[in-house]
Amino acid sequence: MIPWATRAVIFDLDGVLTDTAELHFQAWKRLADEEGLAFTREDNERLRGVSRHQSLEFLLQGRTVSEVEAEALMSRKNKYYQQMIRRLTPADLLPGVAPLLTELRQANLKIAIASASRNADEVIERLGIADQVDALGDGNSVERQRPAPDLLLHVARQLGVSPEQCVVVDDAAAGIEAALAAGMRVVGLGPASRVGNADIVLANLDGIHPEDILAMKSEK
């Protein structure tokens, strides 16, 4: 088997296939305002790919709360987030995503989604791409979240492919770290200051074709 033969592309969801990073921001912002906590759009950049619990810890800026209070705060934020994702439609796929998924399928590549979100299946359903996905790993699939490689390895196992046959696409620093730890090649979406450790850095997926991903070979 050719070691670099790519058989699967594993996409992160939030901030990669759709701009739910903005919706997460709005939901956290509403909670922060209600709780009198300072939280800016810039702060939100640090929460990309970060779990719900860790995001809350960041938001609280050292304020201590009991685990019961923490659960209540997280569930309030999640309620706000769920109200917003109810309005998602296929038009909310980011530019370039729909044609790329179609072309990957035509090139016989497997498509998977690995997301830290426990709302991933609903988002995927509303975006209308559920039937294009061969495997889904979400916030319920493994215990250790990114930067641990666990979720990506879990998804690769579901697909029946080895790590070196996978290319990961992620918009978060922790996601790039996780892919490298999993022994997978990785495309980072966003500024180099955030995803500069990726094998390839792209602004977004607009105009990107499978060959741009297939031809990639780690230079590290």
Taking the C-alpha atoms of residue 25 and residue 57, their distance in angstroms, rounded to an integer, is 15
117 binds, options Mg ion, ligand BG6, none, Cβ within 5 to 8 A by partner type: ligand BG6
116 binds, options Mg ion, ligand BG6, none, Cβ within 5 to 8 A by partner type: ligand BG6
3-state secondary structure 134-187: CEEECCCCCCCCCCCCHHHHHHHHHHCCCHHHEEEEECCHHHHHHHHHHCCEEE
39 binds, options Mg ion, ligand BG6, none, Cβ within 5 to 8 A by partner type: none
- For residue 43, what are its two tokens? 């702060």
Of 30-38, 60-68, 171-179, 197-205, the window that binds Mg ion (rule: CB under 5 A) is 171-179
| Catalytic residue flag (residue 134) | no
| Catalytic residue flag (residue 19) | no
Catalytic residue among 12, 170, 171, 199: 12
Site string for Mg ion, 14-33 (x = CB under 5 A): xx------------------
Instruction: Kindly list the residues in this chain that would bind ligand BG6 in the complex (CB under 6 A).
Output: 13-15, 24, 47-52, 55, 78, 81, 115-119, 139
Phi, psi of 13 (to 5 degrees): -100, -65
171 binds Mg ion (CB under 5 A): yes
| List of long-range contacts for 167-170, beta carbons under 8 Å, 24+ apart | 167/6, 167/8, 167/9, 167/10, 167/213, 167/214, 167/216, 168/9, 168/10, 168/11, 168/12, 168/114, 169/9, 169/10, 169/11, 169/12, 169/16, 169/205, 169/213, 170/12, 170/16, 170/49, 170/195, 170/198
Site string for Mg ion, 65-94 (x = CB under 5 A): ------------------------------
Within 10 Å of residue 110's Cβ, how many Cβ atoms? 22
198 with 49: CB under 8 angstroms? no
Within 10 Å of residue 2's Cβ, how many Cβ atoms? 6
User: Least Å distance between CB 179 and Mg ion?
Assistant: 12
User: Least Å distance between CB 116 and Mg ion?
Assistant: 8
Residue nearest to ligand BG6 (CB): 117
User: Least Å distance between CB 204 and ligand BG6?
Assistant: 16
161 binds, options ligand BG6, Mg ion, none, Cβ within 5 to 8 A by partner type: none
30 binds, options Mg ion, ligand BG6, none, Cβ within 5 to 8 A by partner type: none
- Catalytic sites, residue numbers: 12, 14
Residue ranges that bind Mg ion, judged by CB under 5 A: 12, 14-15, 49, 171-172
